[in-house]
Amino acid sequence: MRTSMNVVMALCVAATLPATGGCARGDGLDDEGRSIAPAAPPPGATRQRRDGRGWKITQTADFNADRMADVVWYDAERNRIAVWLMNGSDLLAPGPFIPGPGGDGWLVWANDFDADNMADLLWSHDERNLMAVWLMDGSRLRAPGPSIPGPIADGWIALPGDFDFDRMSDVLWINAEHNRMAVWPMNVTQPLAAMPPIPGPIGGFAFGFPVDVNFDGMADVVWNDIERNLLRVWLMHGSRPLVEGPAIPGPIGDGWVAAGVGDFNADGMLDVLWSNQERGLMAVWMLEGTQLLAAGPVIPGPIGDGWEARAAGDVNLDRMADVIWQRAGTGEMTVWLMDGSRVLAPGPVIPGPHGGG
């Protein structure tokens, strides 16, 4: 069954899976003992496949173990990715183009599957019901894993997150058509177990993306209802919901999507980056677990048409997430360093791969 456009648009990103799924200091903790969570895949990320207009930024993740977010580009039309290593708001090194699995229609996410503190790739194909984990060494492919069938029935999409606190990503399967989710514990590229599907939230929350919201070292699920502009947070304990949070209304007006998540105020809990592509706007909302703590101001994007906030991630190691913008048509990007919900310093405009492909 082909996933509907509304379902695809609603699916998570970032960050987006922010920095890595682990930390070189051990057990996924930073200097102050806090978990360093990967950025969740952004809800806008699945548009990578459907609009097919060259290179798109899909999310951020730490690919070179420097604890700063790097940028994942995906060219859905040619089924290839590129990882750009970042140093603050500047490009450190553009990685090579890497062809994806055979055939078209793949989606791609990033997280650390082998506990080497460097992000790897999770490929997902909802129409063929397949997933594959590819291990990375920085911006280069180290070892492609096998294609693995997902749960029974069509329409399942695989997303990465560490649900069992072993510093290696597991897989969250989401089926929007049937409102089901399932967590599969992973051992690097292979599933350890196929947990049974359980129901998702009632009423319109088509997709969730996995990210550690409360920094307990285990992924939770942030649900987005794009049609009604709502969020819900489920705190998870392994493969089961522990606390099902209330619906949280998004910014006023049409066109808003949750483009990414990250800790924007260094309080040890995840916050939400909202993006409005049509109006070129962004807003950061601070969360406290499952509850809204503070709604930040609506902020205009860079000067010019076509800019969209695509992902969130800490690019400068100040423990606060920053915002990655991309310009439609040109493929240009820029990184805005953030201080909480306000802009600290807009970075330079950087040309995308091959000028945008």
Range of the domain at 186: 5-356
- What is the C-alpha separation between 170 and 228, in angstroms, rounded? 30
**Number of C-beta neighbours around residue 287 at 10 A:** 25
298-313 in b/e burial notation, b at 16+ Cβ within 10 A?
bbebbeeeebbbbbbb
DSSP bridge partners of 295: 285
Q: 158-201: per-residue pLDDT in tens?
A: 999 999 999 999 999 999 888 999 999 999 999 999 999 999 99
Per-residue DSSP letter, 245:
P
Under a CB-based contact definition with an 8 Å cutoff, are residues 49 and 35 in contact?
no
Element (H, E) at 345: strand 342-346
Q: pTM (2 decimals)?
A: 0.86
SS3 at position 8: helix
- What is the C-alpha separation between 29 and 338, in angstroms, rounded? 22
Residue-by-residue DSSP string for 213-225: SS-SSS-EEEEEE
Helical segments of 40-181, H only: 47-50
Query: In this predicted structure, what is the pLDDT of residue 31?
Result: 44
Under a CB-based contact definition with an 8 Å cutoff, are residues 164 and 218 in contact?
yes
Radius of gyration for the chain, computed over Cα atoms and rounded to the nearest angstrom:
18
Q: 76-96: per-residue pLDDT in tens?
A: 999 999 999 999 999 999 999
Under a CB-based contact definition with an 8 Å cutoff, are residues 20 and 38 in contact?
yes
- What is the C-alpha separation between 164 and 24, in angstroms, rounded? 19
Element (H, E) at 9: helix 5-10
**Number of C-beta neighbours around residue 293 at 10 A:** 13
DSSP bridge partners of 326: 308, 333
Per-residue DSSP letter, 31:
T
> Closest by alpha carbon to 50, among 10, 86, 13, 82?
10
Phi, psi for residue 9 in degrees, rounded to 5: -65, -30
Query: In this predicted structure, what is the pLDDT of residue 215?
Result: 87
Element (H, E) at 6: helix 5-10
> 94 CB contacts (<8 Å, ≥6 apart)?
82, 84, 85, 139, 353
- How many structural domains are present in the chain? 1
- What is the C-alpha separation between 60 and 336, in angstroms, rounded? 14
CATH at 59: 2.120.10.30
Residues lower than pLDDT 50 in the chain: 1-37, 44-52, 355-357
- What is the C-alpha separation between 199 and 184, in angstroms, rounded? 15
Query: In this predicted structure, what is the pLDDT of residue 46?
Result: 45
Query: In this predicted structure, what is the pLDDT of residue 133?
Result: 99
Under a CB-based contact definition with an 8 Å cutoff, are residues 205 and 32 in contact?
no
Query: In this predicted structure, what is the pLDDT of residue 330?
Result: 85
Query: In this predicted structure, what is the pLDDT of residue 53?
Result: 59
